[in-house]
Structure 1
């Protein structure tokens, strides 16, 4: 099991587009053995934090190169959110 925390920051003025992108991308997790445990939105309206689990590292890697995910990101261009991903363990 691989557990990740993703810190997603929406581009200035593109929070609605960023949230729609995240809505769509998160639905792709299942096809790669992934599951969204938590989705939290920052009080600033421009940040989200996701806790995501994958059955395997290979599943995560296949999610990263999913062509549907790439197409969604490409469609946003410069309005695409930036994401920092941290691998975590239970403390």
Structure 2
């Protein structure tokens, strides 16, 4: 099991588009044996935090190169959210 925390920051003025993008991308997790455990929204309206689990690292890697995910990101261009991903464990 691989557990990740993704810190997502939306571009100023493109928050709604960023949230729609995240909605669409998170819906793709299941095809890669991934699951969204938590989706938290920052009070600033600019940030989200996602806790995501994958059955394996291979599932995460296939999610990263999913063609539909890439196409969705390309549609947003420079207004696409920026994301920092941290691998975590409970301890």
Common fold, TM-score beyond 0.5? yes
CA distance in 2 between partners of 1:83 and 1:10 (Å): 9
Calculate the TM-score normalised by the size of structure 1: 0.99
Calculate the TM-score normalised by the size of structure 2: 0.99
Residue in structure 1 matched with residue 71 of structure 2 by the alignment: 71
Aligned residues: 91
CA distance in 2 between partners of 1:57 and 1:73 (Å): 22
- Ranges in structure 2 where 5+ consecutive residues have no aligned partner: none
Q: Are 2:27 and 1:27 equivalent residues in the alignment?
A: yes
1:53 Cα deviation from its structure 2 partner: 0.1
RMSD: 0.3
- Ranges in structure 1 where 5+ consecutive residues have no aligned partner: none
CA distance in 2 between partners of 1:77 and 1:4 (Å): 25
Q: Find runs of 4+ consecutive structure 1 residues off by over 3 angstroms.
A: none
Q: Secondary structure at the match of 2:40?
A: strand
Residue in structure 1 matched with residue 45 of structure 2 by the alignment: 45
1:67 Cα deviation from its structure 2 partner: 0.1
